[in-house]
Amino acid sequence: MSHTLQYKLKDQILSGILLYWTFEGNRLQLRSELQAMIEIMNLLMQMSPKPNEAESIYAKALRPRQDLVYMLLENEHTGLMT
């Protein structure tokens, strides 16, 4: 998959997650949505450059949003587990 296509795909996925994010929503619904989002984020992380690889301009542009989504997911996951 080309870097441009990967960028566009990741951009759409991250945008969808951030637009759909349900703050203080139904806890049962949030659990199932959270699990799906965690699986998606794990796939996105696998698409990220490895530590010894150079990061493309596309990956650098998406990094802040990807990190934000990952932090939101971790926070919700921690909240649901307590």
Give residue-wise pLDDT tens across range 23-72: 556 666 777 777 787 787 788 778 776 666 677 787 788 888 888 888 88
Which among 20-24, 72-76, 77-81 has the top mean pLDDT?
Answer: 72-76
What SS3 class is residue 42?
helix
Q: What is this structure's pTM?
A: 0.61
Give the residue from 22, 3, 5, 14 showing the smallest Cα distance to 66: 14
How many CA atoms does the CB half-sphere of 78 hold within 13 Å? 6
**pLDDT attached to residue 4:** 83
Q: State how far Cα 56 lies from the chain centre.
A: 18
Domain count, the chain: 1
Give the CA distances from residue 5 to residues 2, 23, 43, 57, 61, in Å, rounded to whole numbers and listed in that order.
Answer: 5, 30, 15, 13, 14
**pLDDT attached to residue 22:** 61
Domain ranges, residue 31: 3-81
